[in-house]
Structure 1
Amino acid sequence: MKTIIVGIGNPNFKDDGIGLKIVEHFEGIVDTVKLLNIGFNLIDSLLGYERALIVDGVKTGKEPGSIIEFNTDYWGNVYASGTHNLSIFELIRIGKSIYPDEMPKEIKIIGVEVEDVETLTRQLSPSVEAAIPEAVSRIKEYLGIN
């Protein structure tokens, strides 16, 4: 199955770089892409793949370092107000609407709860960094690789 893993984040703002750090573990194993910000470039990255995993830092109020998995069941009522404020969920919805035959049929988002995305540093918070092995393990399990 043609698969891509997309890491999203800015490595200069502490925990915001977690998606990029996780995707590094899969370079050379499956197709990967790193996006510093998202817009319609996310859709472009997904076109032509059957399966996609998107890895990003999230802020849901859970304990920092918690791993949250989202799938299509979650996306039903997520909306954004305009093109400069589109969420990952809304971008995927748009992609599937415009390119129904080219977007992946399977899309999963792996989120790692962040603690600090404002401090200008490339060092992750200890609790967020500690989540990397578990996130990598979950992705490997999902992909069926060792």
Structure 2
Amino acid sequence: MKTLVVGIGNPNFKDDGVGLKIVEELQGVVDTVSLLNISFQIIDSILGYDKVIIVDGVKSGTEPGSIVEFSSDYWANIYASGTHNLSIFEIIRIGYKLFPEEMPKEIKIIGVEVEDVETLSRECSSKVVAAIPEAVARIKEYLNIQHVQNAL
């Protein structure tokens, strides 16, 4: 089964880089790709994979560092209201309409609640940093990846 983890974020705006930091932890363990924003590039990145996890910072109103998960049961019913700023949910739905045979059979979105995405910094806030190991563990569990020792 071909699996992929997609990290989304801007590494220069504090907590907005959390998706990229999570992907860094999984490099060499599973296929990964890092994207700087939500765009149709997501579709290009995930075509041909069976199972995909997308990780990003979110603002859902929970405590900073909280991990939220969105399965297709949730996002299948969320619609974007504009045409210039499509949500990740809308982009994935478009992918399934355009490429139904090539899109992944399973997609899960994992978000880490952010605290600060406006400060110019390459370091995440302490609560968000503390959530990274748990997010990585959840991804490994979901993908059924056993602990891999880093040979470095």
- TM range, normalised to the smaller chain? over 0.9
Deviation at 1:100, TM superposition (A): 0.3
The TM-score normalised by the length of structure 1 is 0.97
SS at match of 2:20: helix
1:70 aligns with 2:70: yes
Unpaired stretches in structure 1, ≥5 consecutive residues:
none
Post-superposition CA distance 1:38-76 (Å, at most 9, x none): 211000001000000000000000000000011000013
Deviating 4+ runs (over 6 angstroms): none
Within a 5 Å distance, the mapping from 1:45-64 to structure 2 comes to 45-64=45-64
1:26 is aligned to 26
1:131 is aligned to 131
2:87 is aligned to 87
Identity %: 74
- Cα distance in 1 for partners of 2:46, 2:82 equals 21
The TM-score normalised by the length of structure 2 is 0.93
SS at match of 2:110: strand
Query: Which amino acid in structure 2 is aligned with residue 137 of structure 1?
Result: A
1:118 aligns with 2:142: no
Post-superposition CA distance 1:12-56 (Å, at most 9, x none): 000000000001111111111000012110000010000000000
Count of aligned residue pairs for this structure pair: 146
Query: Which amino acid in structure 2 is aligned with residue 15 of structure 1?
Result: D
SS at match of 1:52: strand
Unpaired stretches in structure 2, ≥5 consecutive residues:
147-152
Post-superposition CA distance 1:94-115 (Å, at most 9, x none): 0001000000010001100000
